[in-house]
Chains A and B, each alone.
Chain A
Amino acid sequence: MLTLLNRRTLLAGSLALGASTLALPRIALAQGSGTRNLLFVLLRGAADGMAMLAPVGDPGFEALRGASLADYESAPRIGSFFALHPAFAEVGKAAQAGEALFVHAAATTYRERSHFDGQNLLETGGTAPYATKDGWLNRLVGLLAESRGGAVPRALAVAPTVPLTLRGNAPVSSYAPSALPDASADYMTRVAALYDGDAELAGLWSRALETRAMAGDDSLRSLRDAGANGTLIASLMKGPQGARIAMIEVDGWDTHANQRGAFARSARGLDALLAAYKAGMGEEWASTMVLVATEFGRTAKLNGTNGTDHGTAGAAMVLGGGVRGGRVLADWPGLGESQLYEGRDLAPTIALESVLAGAVAEHLGLDPATTLARLFPERTAKPLSGILRA
């Protein structure tokens, strides 16, 4: 049973986001263009959902995280129950505009605490680590191609190499800014001839050239500047030639020690990336969806070194011009010791796979049940619905 916690907030507080959300006018989607953009942001290292979206309305929060309570005093409230980490200033504005939706106490089927296995399952969509060899986002590309008579949508990893989420049979590109000087044109032509009889290298080569042509002459030199990354991804996704499906990885979330500064730093970077991406997409933001997810959450209580260890349930975000945002989807499990998973982690009450499959199906006009079965097979929970404004 999902609880729309924003309903409780209609009467609460000065920032009654829930109320304003319901009154927001609908933004028209880019009808008929057939272009829907999807960006998946993978937070590697297990981002702390309780820091991202603090359940300040839960009396248990102060006992577990009393030291960090002050950080949320003037933070944007999402309903009366949750407060967004203050480093997410721009995401907060998007929430206020009804364009950012949050999911809390969500987890994949994975119940151990290894980053590598957890990421493997989140990326492959499998149920046992390393059993599935391709990524769910790559399978989504295949599914879209089938639904569109074989026309394969452009897919792109904004990373030097293709992350597992996007690996598989469907062709994908990767792109990251380079500080190396461009090679000479004649040499490049000869390299193409050199790879002519080599299917793998020839394929990689032609995709590399296409993507670099699209990025044009960006002045970026690396992927370290979060805001510039957002602008870059937008430039690679805009227009009819742009990538329809893209992903980027953001690391720096494994906050085992001195979490307060480390989390704020990573969150500021993510916030800047998302804001720049939204700005860069311009009018196409209306037909764009951004999914932000991480492999699992972290321990509810701070550890001995003012950090948090590997946990279970965490938070996810869905942003976009068509998203029914400004609210938190959660079946809140509570923070009492008996309510915590194994006495230490936020307990999972929503399947992250249902969130991801439901969101992309709704956004891309695919059948939700088929989408879930293809991207995340062998799941029993139903795909989530009602993510976009009707």
Chain B
Amino acid sequence: MSPASIALNRFGYGLAHGKQPPEDARRYLLRQLDAFDPAPRAIATRTATRGKTGEMLRLLRDLREKVREMGEPGMAEQGMAGAMAEGAPENPRAAALAGLPPEYREKLMEARRVVVDDLAVRVNVAIASPAPLVERLVHFWSNHFSVSVGKPGTQFEVGPHEFGAIRPHVLGRFSDMLKAAVLHPAMLLYLDQFQSIGPESPAGKRRLRQAGAQGPRGINENLAREILELHTLGVDGGYTQADIAEFARALTGWTVPGVGRVGRLAADQPSGAAFVALAHEPGSRMIMGTRYAEVGPQQAIAVLDDLAAHPATARHIATKLARHFAGDTPPASLVAQLEADFRKTGGDLASLTRTLIAAPEVWVPGPVKFRSPFEWFIAAARLSGIERMEPPRIARVLGELGQSPWRAPSPAGYDDLAASWAAPDVLLRRVELAERIAQGSPAEDVLARAEAAFPDTLSTSTRTMLTRAESGRQALALLLVAPEMMRR
């Protein structure tokens, strides 16, 4: 790969239709740091759904109770999950919806539309972006702080989580992104924090007195554990089960506005979350050898600030970033350099990006990664110049390719390893989809476009196959699945 091809493909989402390859690869990348728009118009209009989540959760609870009366526990969630499924076959989804009381059906359809539209905004912004490197960073961090719409009730929050808690911080401070991302309603819902209640808190004690009461009665450690293991220190970061439990206590009170009886007493937080002092476990906490005084919502924030500055976090983030840009087994020298940068700058993510751009380890000529389905799809859409795709189609296609954003199977997000994506069946799907994309795209000058997209990099065999194609469309379809498109 030439430096221009590396700048386009390894760092970005490939060349967009009608654009020219860069003359100066590093400058082209550095300029993107200034060109990046954290709040393009398409996104700025997508954040007006606040306040709907409380309504959504009430709806879900009503529904659950209603169906329980009908003697079918689990049906409500099933209907909900089925109705929300992206890329699900039409029939089961229709069946799940048909099984729901009509007054709920419409609200669920609305919630689903919101997710699908948010997803299309993410995709279209990336396709049109003048700063594809920074879009890649947005998607990298969104996957690092993975939330899933598979959790009922999160429909109105997963898009805003990326747009509002991740995107503005990708060139800012890691600690700011951490606090925004994990204390966002999407994460609080996804990892069950919203119903965690301190046993010694007024709300916890009242629950205890009402023996046999339905609903949440205590601590849930899920968010605390995943913050330590996935978002900050990493699994070998030196914390214990006791630290998890203490952190979970510090996090009590952080919840989603409009949830439950205590929700009425909530104080709204800048992240869109709410803090309910009545559910907060009183007292100071000891986490990894540091004592945190009782200061309400600030207690968890103080822990998060310390976690963001911890050396294990620097190491963990450096490793993941290096793996994303420099290969599945990242060079130790690059990890060390990023780690040192993280520690020196206090987690300045713009500085880490500049370090990546400067590092020779990221400019090795051979391809270092197999493109993930999402990366391939965005690169294919940019290269083909395909006309607008309707939002439901985008959602369906990403599902078929095996990587629906905001729907990763676990809080760890999607794997960033070739072995996860270089599989027979998904390759076949890329091939099938490429033919469809080519049918809706401008099909002139494919060979010249191929040379521009992979400057001084196109192999003889790919060039031969493109030349021999029976039509411009077929040449484009072949280019979209050529080895040069699959790896970067």
* Chain B residues with CB below 8 A from A190, complex form: 465, 468-469, 474, 478
* Chain B residues with CB below 8 A from A262, complex form: 74, 77
Closest CB of chain B to A217's CB: distance in Å?
Answer: 15
* Chain A residues with CB below 8 A from B482, complex form: 194
Is B92 on the interface with A (CB-CB < 8 A)?
yes
A116-B410, A209-B428 given as contacts; is B423 within 8 A of A221 (CB)? no
What is the CA–CA distance of A377 and B241 in the complex, to the nearest angstrom? 28
Which of B64, B73, B76, B425 touches A160 (beta carbons < 8 Å)?
A: B425
Closest CB of chain B to A233's CB: distance in Å?
Answer: 14
Which of A182, A207, A224, A342 touches B432 (beta carbons < 8 Å)?
A: A182
Is B310 on the interface with A (CB-CB < 8 A)?
no
Stretch at the interface among B3-11, B194-202, B266-274, B450-458: B194-202
Is A306 on the interface with B (CB-CB < 8 A)?
yes
* Chain B residues with CB below 8 A from A209, complex form: 428
Closest CB of chain A to B211's CB: distance in Å?
Answer: 12
Is A22 on the interface with B (CB-CB < 8 A)?
no
* Chain A residues with CB below 8 A from B397, complex form: 180
Known: A129-B235, A225-B89, A309-B221. 8 other contacts (CB 8 A): A173-B424, A174-B424, A187-B478, A208-B428, A256-B220, A304-B197, A306-B215, A342-B241
Q: Are B426 and A180 in contact (CB under 8 A)?
A: no
Is B216 on the interface with A (CB-CB < 8 A)?
yes
Closest to A219 in B: B89
B320-373 interface (Cβ within 8 A of A):
none
A308-322 interface (Cβ within 8 A of B):
309-310
Q: Are A196 and B427 in contact (CB under 8 A)?
A: no
What is the CA–CA distance of A305 and B214 in the complex, to the nearest angstrom? 9
What is the CA–CA distance of A175 and B77 in the complex, to the nearest angstrom? 28
Instruction: Across the A-B interface, give the 5 residue pairs with the lowest CB-CB distance, nearest first.
Output: A304-B218, A261-B74, A208-B424, A161-B423, A160-B402
Stretch at the interface among A145-153, A197-205, A368-376: A197-205
Which of B74, B88, B235, B465 touches A265 (beta carbons < 8 Å)?
A: B74
Q: Are A183 and B431 in contact (CB under 8 A)?
A: yes
Q: Are A194 and B461 in contact (CB under 8 A)?
A: yes
Q: Are A208 and B427 in contact (CB under 8 A)?
A: yes
Is A115 on the interface with B (CB-CB < 8 A)?
yes
What is the CA–CA distance of A208 and B423 in the complex, to the nearest angstrom? 8
* Chain B residues with CB below 8 A from A195, complex form: 483
Stretch at the interface among B39-47, B107-115, B414-422: B414-422
Tally of contact residues, B, Cβ under 8 A:
68
Contact with A along B394-405 (1 / 0, CB 8 A): 001101101000
Q: Are B422 and A180 in contact (CB under 8 A)?
A: no
Q: Are B400 and A179 in contact (CB under 8 A)?
A: yes
Query: A interface, by DSSP: helix, strand, loop or mixed?
Result: loop
Closest CB of chain A to B56's CB: distance in Å?
Answer: 16
Q: Are B421 and A161 in contact (CB under 8 A)?
A: yes
Closest to A184 in B: B435
Is B219 on the interface with A (CB-CB < 8 A)?
yes
Q: Are B229 and A114 in contact (CB under 8 A)?
A: yes
* Chain B residues with CB below 8 A from A211, complex form: 424-425
Which of B87, B225, B412 touches A222 (beta carbons < 8 Å)?
A: B87
* Chain B residues with CB below 8 A from A191, complex form: 431, 478, 481
Closest to A257 in B: B192
Q: Are A304 and B89 in contact (CB under 8 A)?
A: no
Is A90 on the interface with B (CB-CB < 8 A)?
no
Closest to B191 in A: A256
Is A170 on the interface with B (CB-CB < 8 A)?
no
* Chain B residues with CB below 8 A from A307, complex form: 192, 220
What is the CA–CA distance of A252 and B465 in the complex, to the nearest angstrom? 45
* Chain B residues with CB below 8 A from A45, complex form: 410
B189-213 interface (Cβ within 8 A of A):
192, 195-197, 199
* Chain A residues with CB below 8 A from B229, complex form: 114, 116
* Chain B residues with CB below 8 A from A173, complex form: 424-425
Is B78 on the interface with A (CB-CB < 8 A)?
yes
Is A264 on the interface with B (CB-CB < 8 A)?
yes
Contact with B along A300-339 (1 / 0, CB 8 A): 0001111101100000000000000000000000000000
A254-271 interface (Cβ within 8 A of B):
254, 256-258, 260-262, 264-265, 268
Is B101 on the interface with A (CB-CB < 8 A)?
no
Contact with A along B62-92 (1 / 0, CB 8 A): 0010000000011111100000010111001
Q: Are B436 and A180 in contact (CB under 8 A)?
A: yes
Closest to A310 in B: B225
Q: Are B85 and A224 in contact (CB under 8 A)?
A: yes
Which of A187, A200, A261 touches B422 (beta carbons < 8 Å)?
A: A200
Is A50 on the interface with B (CB-CB < 8 A)?
no
A195-B483, A261-B73 given as contacts; is B427 within 8 A of A114 (CB)? no
* Chain A residues with CB below 8 A from B433, complex form: 180
What is the CA–CA distance of A289 and B11 in the complex, to the nearest angstrom? 47
* Chain B residues with CB below 8 A from A261, complex form: 64, 73-77
Contact with A along B451-488 (1 / 0, CB 8 A): 00000000101100100111000100110011100100
A180-B433, A262-B77 given as contacts; is B195 within 8 A of A257 (CB)? yes
Q: Are A181 and B483 in contact (CB under 8 A)?
A: no
Closest to A115 in B: B410
Closest CB of chain B to A14's CB: distance in Å?
Answer: 24
Closest CB of chain B to A359's CB: distance in Å?
Answer: 26
Which of A116, A174, A179, A198 touches B423 (beta carbons < 8 Å)?
A: A174
Q: Are B435 and A183 in contact (CB under 8 A)?
A: yes
Q: Are B422 and A204 in contact (CB under 8 A)?
A: yes
* Chain A residues with CB below 8 A from B465, complex form: 190, 193-194
* Chain A residues with CB below 8 A from B424, complex form: 162, 173-175, 204-205, 207-208, 211
What is the CA–CA distance of A115 and B76 in the complex, to the nearest angstrom? 26
Q: Are A256 and B88 in contact (CB under 8 A)?
A: no
Is B31 on the interface with A (CB-CB < 8 A)?
no
Is B429 on the interface with A (CB-CB < 8 A)?
yes
Q: Are A179 and B427 in contact (CB under 8 A)?
A: no
Closest CB of chain A to B327's CB: distance in Å?
Answer: 15
Q: Are A305 and B217 in contact (CB under 8 A)?
A: yes
Q: Are A303 and B421 in contact (CB under 8 A)?
A: no
* Chain B residues with CB below 8 A from A221, complex form: 89
Is B238 on the interface with A (CB-CB < 8 A)?
no
Is B441 on the interface with A (CB-CB < 8 A)?
no
Closest CB of chain A to B477's CB: distance in Å?
Answer: 6
Q: Are B427 and A305 in contact (CB under 8 A)?
A: no
Closest CB of chain A to B60's CB: distance in Å?
Answer: 10
Q: Are B89 and A303 in contact (CB under 8 A)?
A: no
Is A89 on the interface with B (CB-CB < 8 A)?
no
Q: Are B196 and A305 in contact (CB under 8 A)?
A: yes
Closest to A254 in B: B410
What is the CA–CA distance of A202 and B427 in the complex, to the nearest angstrom? 10
* Chain B residues with CB below 8 A from A256, complex form: 192, 220, 222
Q: Are B64 and A257 in contact (CB under 8 A)?
A: no
Is B99 on the interface with A (CB-CB < 8 A)?
no
* Chain A residues with CB below 8 A from B85, complex form: 224
Which of B199, B230, B396, B483 touches A179 (beta carbons < 8 Å)?
A: B396
Residue among B75, B230, B429 having the largest count of chain A Cβ atoms under 10 Å: B429
Q: Are A257 and B431 in contact (CB under 8 A)?
A: no
Is B18 on the interface with A (CB-CB < 8 A)?
no
* Chain B residues with CB below 8 A from A254, complex form: 410
A187-B477, A204-B423, A261-B64 given as contacts; is B196 within 8 A of A304 (CB)? yes
Closest to A162 in B: B423
Closest CB of chain A to B24's CB: distance in Å?
Answer: 31
What is the CA–CA distance of A186 and B473 in the complex, to the nearest angstrom? 13
* Chain A residues with CB below 8 A from B459, complex form: 197
Closest to B216 in A: A305
Is A154 on the interface with B (CB-CB < 8 A)?
no
